[in-house]
Amino acid sequence: MTPFTDISSPHASTSNLQLSRRQVLASVAAGGLLLATGARAAGYPDKAIKIIVPFAPGAGTDAMGRLLAQKLGELLNVSAVVENKTGASGAIGAQFVAQSPADGYTLLLAAAPYTTVPAVLPTAGYDPLSSFTNISMVAQGPLMWACNKDLPVNNLVELVAYAKTRPGQLNYGSAGAGGINHLVLEQLKAQQGISIVHIPYRGIAPATVDMMGGQIHLLTGTIPALAPLVRDGRIKALAVTTAQRHPLFPQVPGLAEQNLASLTALNYFGLVAPKGTPNEVVERLNQALQRVTAMPDVQARLKNDALEAAPAGAAHMDQFIRSDLEGWKKVVRDQGIKVDKL
């Protein structure tokens, strides 16, 4: 233990006096900073909030970001705007938010690549577990396995059996290396011991076009994106990536009935802020998101997009993100996936 120095004593040394003064000044400064932070949190928000969407305008993530910006702006009585910062499968936008001031005015709309990208590429430039403060989950929903209409399989079990007799002869398109579409395939390959060639595209739309044209055999995509093609008979749906069937497509089998429940994968949306954002600000945003996801028009919009509201506090999101990240890291290890850049 360091002995106490009485700075009023004439026997106190000059160095001790200087040290003690520095300690007092530091304490005053720290106290002032805490008071200032508390004051800012109490008055939050008093200027525009930016929601960074790490993908291009027009995509599903962009639409979700704009919905949240509109509703949060109305509830918090401030301007809330979307800013698209694209590149590297979402890593550019995530890096930008991680390096922004931790004041609650720059937020990231996190979606599935938020965890899949750093799982496959440790040099992604951010860590979901240490670079951010989680605010809340917003919504989640399954993907859909689909194939070219002429492929002679009708569900995932038949696909696995077909692939086992034709190692390396089937191929699969994704929205790019490191995305959830890519890792869902790798998870299937790892668990079922099959060989299917991965073909990364710059987005899922061109991959879907090629699947319809017969250039590739398989992919996974969101239900809203694939539903019209399934209904028109231009592609076939093999499964949804949840254990049970989805209400929008009750004719498409879930994973549990195919004894493949361990392949469950969710596309998700949530809001995160830079690490160190004050708890009062996080709680204010969390409460606002609970109100947003309870709005009937928002719930109807989510249902139409094959999503369901999944609001929860920061602690729940912490657990979800950690589990999702570790699960995809295991897939990457099991498959020996190596990605140098995105």
pLDDT digits (tens, 9 = 90+) for 90-140: 999 999 999 999 999 999 999 999 999 999 999 999 999 999 999 999 999
* pLDDT of the residue at 146: 98
Of 45, 47, 86, 46, the closest CA to residue 65 belongs to: 86
β-strands 132-148, 218-222: how paired? Answer: antiparallel
Alpha-carbon dihedral 180, 223, 228, 252, rounded to 10 degrees: 110
Helix (H, G, I), strand (E, B) or coil at 141: strand
Of 213, 185, 198, 176, the closest CA to residue 59 belongs to: 176
* pLDDT of the residue at 39: 40
Q: What Cα–Cα distance (Å) separates residue 66 from each residue in 51, 63, 205?
A: 8, 5, 21
* pLDDT of the residue at 145: 98
According to DSSP, the residues that pair with 133 across neighbouring strands are 273
Question: What is the 8-class DSSP label of residue 263?
Answer: G
* pLDDT of the residue at 229: 97
pLDDT in tens, 319-333: 999 999 999 999 999
Ordered by where they begin, the domains of the chain are 49-141+267-335 (3.40.190.150), 142-263 (3.40.190.10)
Q: What Cα–Cα distance (Å) separates residue 115 from each residue in 18, 126, 209, 323, 333?
A: 49, 10, 27, 10, 15
| Cα gap 44→59, rounded to integer Å | 30
Q: What Cα–Cα distance (Å) separates residue 244 from each residue in 53, 152, 258, 304?
A: 30, 24, 10, 18
pLDDT in tens, 263-277: 999 999 999 999 999
Extract the residue ranges of the chain whose pLDDT is less than 70: 1-42
* pLDDT of the residue at 41: 58
| Cα gap 279→60, rounded to integer Å | 30
Helix (H, G, I), strand (E, B) or coil at 171: strand
pTM of the model: 0.83
| Cα gap 50→47, rounded to integer Å | 10
* pLDDT of the residue at 311: 82
Burial of 115-150, coded b for 16+ CB within 10 Å and e otherwise, reads bbbbbbbeebbbebeebbbbbbbbbbbbbbbbbbee
| Cα gap 299→301, rounded to integer Å | 5
Give me 145's structure tokens.
């396995």
Contact indicator for 217, 151 with CB cutoff of 8 Å: yes
Rg, the chain, Cα only: 25
